[in-house]
Amino acid sequence: MELIRTLIAVMVLVLQVYILMKISA
């Protein structure tokens, strides 16, 4: 299903941003 694939992509993107902010902080 396309919705699930999009949801996973968004979650991965948010996770990467969270890790990036945690490293830079």
Where do the H-state alpha helices sit in the chain? 2-24
Looking at residue 22, its pLDDT comes to 96
Q: What is the pLDDT of residues 1-25, one digit of tens each?
A: 899 999 999 999 999 999 999 999 7
Rounded alpha-carbon distances, angstroms, from residue 20 to 3, 14, 15, 16, 23: 26, 10, 9, 6, 5
Looking at residue 25, its pLDDT comes to 76
Looking at residue 1, its pLDDT comes to 82
- C-alpha 18/C-alpha 14 separation (Å) is 6
Token digits of residue 5: 């694939």
Longest dimension (CA), the chain: 37
